[in-house]
Amino acid sequence: MKLTRYALGLLAGLIIGSFIAGTCSAAASTRRTTPATHPPGPATQAVTAATRPATQTRPARVEDALAAAVKEALAGRFLQATKALRITAKAAPDNAAAAAALDLLDRHLSRSNRSRTEQRREYTEAVRRVRHGMLAEQYLPKLAKAKVDQKLRKKISAVVSAYGEIGSCEGLMDADTKAANKLCDEATRALEQTDAALKGTLKALKGDTSQYAKVLDGLVAALKRQLNACRQVWHDAKTDTAHERAETADKLKPLEDELALAVADLEVMTAMKPWRIALSQGRLAKQLAGKGEEYSRQEWYKSLLADSQAQANKAVADARWFDALMAYAGLEELLTGIDSKKEQFYKDKVKEARRHVRMLRLYGDEDESRTASKPTTGPSDTEATWHEMSAGIDAKMVKKAIEKLNDFYVVPVDYKKVSRGALLSVHVLGKTPQAAKSFPLLGDKDRQQRFVKAIEAQLAAIDRRNGVDQLDLSLALHTVLSVSEDTVKIPTRVLAMEFADGLLDELDRFSSMIWPDDVADFRKHTMGQFFGVGIQITKKPGEPLKVVTPLVGSPAFRAGIKAGDTIIAVDGRATEDRSVDRLVRMITGKKGTKVVLTISRPGLIKPMDKAIIRDEIHIRTVKGWRRIRNGKWDHCIDPKAKVGYIRISQFTDTTARDLAEALTKMQEGGMKSLVLDLRFNPGGLLRAATKVADQFLAGGRIVSTKGRQVRRTEVNASPSGKFLKGGLAVLINEHSASAAEIVAGAIKDWRRGLIVGQRTFGKGSVQNVIPIREQRSYLKLTTAYYYLPSGRQIHKQNASTDWGVVPDVEVTVTPRQMKHWLEIRRKTDLLKEVDQHLLKEAMAKQYDADLQLSSAVLLLKLKGLAG
């Protein structure tokens, strides 16, 4: 794990930037009206909720009855709407609008009932894995005593290894006939090898009649059934045409998913730390629990809490801080919304454990934290050391930052709390034995104890004082530096960094220092400029780099790079043994410079070199329903009903312009209504978000900001938007944040459109970036909060029960359902040569799998039918 604060991710390193909102400036219009008011609490219902009786009084006219039924549907009461429409359709069998509305609702209810059944099944599976994990945790020590555990693990490891060689339906879809036939042969052979490895699994437990052995026997039998089912499809696969390969892939996909789950179930029983799996599955079960599911009263939940607390206590006693962090984080999540006092207790414990993990990773022996997360094959060629992270830091930077807190922070600073956070961070460093690897004098027991006791004395003095102020915080820093110099001689730059990071962590999760080592990445993010070739990439350990898709108009696109290409070398250097971060740095570079990518592609006799000139990469954040041949987007999701679709991935300087162009094009094509998809949108530029909202609002306030020490600002809509009339549905989920919440919240408050999906993230704070020491570093500090037109605050505070944007119609999806439709969407988003018939089928599957999207389209179509 790369430990720089602004490290680029897998895709961001090549093409995507994060953007920090600047100060709000009012739009041209200052006309004010009053936003719609809402009753307290979320006015939402699940799609299948049946808590309100159907309308008892039958309207005299069919049109009135239809309007009344649509009103029920728009409130998320789909079952009631369907019942009312059945009565209407029976009374007026010749009314086409009523019949069409009833047909839409019937199909939607069928889809949502199927989704609810899947959710219940996933919940049951998660609870079962919780029980299996706890059972394995209890029984594996007995197997270890009998010296059977390693033999059993070896058997199951062989099963997992053989399973890993099985081909995938995705590979079949991408292959030609020759490659597909080879893939079928290899997959069939790998399935047979997996089955053979499975046969020896239970021999290690011969004669064992325990519950553990019975469960393992059942899991082995289930896996065998899945292997046989997959083997049959691979054996019978037809591969002559793309359509036949697609049909086979469709049959394989659900079987592959079930096979993966069956293998995972088996691994639970021999995991080195099964309690971790039990805890993660408990968190999942809590997320999947349906309304009215009293999981907190169930025995599995109570046992999981007790077992996880025991694991946390043991981990702390053994100084296994990564385990402690996992246990505390799980306990915090399990108790969120159940017991606020215990939730806060574990939140504090998470913070304590996170400090220890940080110290181990930065300054000590990382073996425990690394093996706890993922295996490594050697030292990372991208991982920042503490030498790099602390380079250029001095105590004056921290003192300057302390001086700025009271001047700018959004609420009065609790100096006692931040002083404790700063001192505790240094205290943990002093108490970490492994840190002696970096700071040898910490290995001198006398010096180390004198240093730690001096910090503890400061903590005690802070606790005794009633009034702690800015001066006390600065004096604490001075004392830490002085004591260190007299004892363990930890470099000033390290202590300054830990002291500042510790105090800012107590303010909020968005306030932080941008240290000298971070400044270059920070400027790159805020400028939003990237120079490279314009490709999205993916990579598996030990394998070459793979192109997910080129970006339209990018240097890679112009050079003929295609989705699915394998990049086996960059400037002659092989990619398979290099990390993604390293490869990102190799491919990106200054504008106008050359990079040579060696490409392998099915059908090529030998790899070819592509010399590409780097250029600025422009991110297109406005997307449509499907790609068309020229790489552009088709925004029409339902041609017959004239429903358009726009997805905004984030808010950049070009978002509003691209949105306006897309709206103009759709309106020229006769669009009547629109789905605006803001799911998974993390935010971006505030000015871009307000310009987007302005396209849909005829006037009134879009958003305002208010802080303790900054003047109130507000942004108002102008009457010149592109889509001020017509049906509008906005899709949101828990990953919609910041600027996305501002757009959705403004549309909801002015009742301009219907909000569909799940409650948003709740990131409604404004961070200002304050230069420190001639711009050698910066203080990123929360200075204000965003407020919606109704005056409601978006930001989620500690123990908050009301945050973000609450949908008008709540439509929940499970993680597995979400993964399924995102996989389909990823394929249909690619710039790839695909048979148009297959693409049409893929789009239909995506629509059917995405319950939130289909719900939004349903509501717009119902509104259209009702007039």
Q: At 535, which helix (H) or strand (E)? A: strand 535-538
Q: How far apart are the first and last CA of the chain?
A: 55
The backbone torsions φ and ψ at residue 576, rounded to the nearest 5 degrees and listed phi first, read: -65, -30
Say which residues have a Cβ less than 8 Å from residue 438's Cβ, sequence separation at least 6: 362, 363, 364, 386
Q: How far is CA 520 from CA 517, 523, 603, in A?
A: 7, 5, 42
Neighbours of 484 (CB within 10 A): 24
- Catalytic residue (one of 83, 349, 546, 763): 763
Helices 415-430/470-486 angle, 10° precision? 10
Closest CA to 227 of 265, 262, 264, 184: 262
C-alpha angle 41-44-45 in degrees, rounded to nearest 5: 130
Would you give the distance in Å from CA 23 to the centre of its chain? Answer: 27
Alpha helices, H only, 695-738: none
**Annotated active-site residue in 738, 777, 854, 855:** 738
The region, left, alpha or beta by phi > 0 then psi within -120 to 50, assigned to residue 433 is alpha
User: Which two structure tokens, joined as six digits, stand for 403?
Assistant: 């001086």
How far apart, in Å, are the Cα atoms of 155 and each of 204, 213, 221, 375, 382? 9, 15, 15, 20, 36
For residue 736, give every residue at least 6 positions away whose Cβ sits within 8 Å of its Cβ, in sequence order, or none: 678, 679, 680, 681, 744, 757, 760, 761, 805
Please tell me whether residue 846 adopts helix, strand or coil conformation: helix
Q: Tell me the C-alpha distance between 797 and 347, whole Å.
A: 13
CA separation (Å) from 239 to 171, 184, 252, 787? Answer: 12, 9, 13, 57
- Compute CA distances 849 → 118, 215, 823, whole Å: 12, 33, 10
Q: Which helix (H) or strand (E) holds 390?
A: none
Which is it for strands 573-574 and 512-514: parallel, antiparallel or unpaired?
unpaired
| Tokens 């037109």, located at residue | 789
Task: Report the distance separating Cα 795 and Cα 788, nearest Å.
Answer: 11
Q: What is the phi/psi pair of residue 219, to 5°?
A: -70, -40
Q: 749, 808, 829, 850: which is the annotated catalytic residue?
A: 749
Compute CA 428 distance to the chain's CA centroid, rounded to the nearest angstrom: 30
* CA–CA distance, 84 with 276 (Å, rounded to integer): 49
Q: Does the annotation mark 404 as catalytic?
A: no
Residues in contact with 780: Cβ distance below 8 Å, sequence separation at least 6, in sequence order: 510, 511, 512, 513, 514, 767, 768, 769, 770
CA-CA distance, 850 to 826, in Å (whole number)?
Answer: 13
Lookup: tokens for 279: 């805890």
Q: Are 731 and 852 in contact (CB under 8 A)?
A: yes
CA atoms of 308 and 327, how far apart (whole Å): 6
Secondary structure (3-state) at 627: strand
Residue 826 has a CB neighbour count (10 Å cut-off) of 13
Is there a catalytic annotation at residue 203?
no
Q: Report DSSP state, residue 793.
A: B
738 flagged as catalytic: yes
Q: Which residues form the catalytic set? A: 738, 749, 763
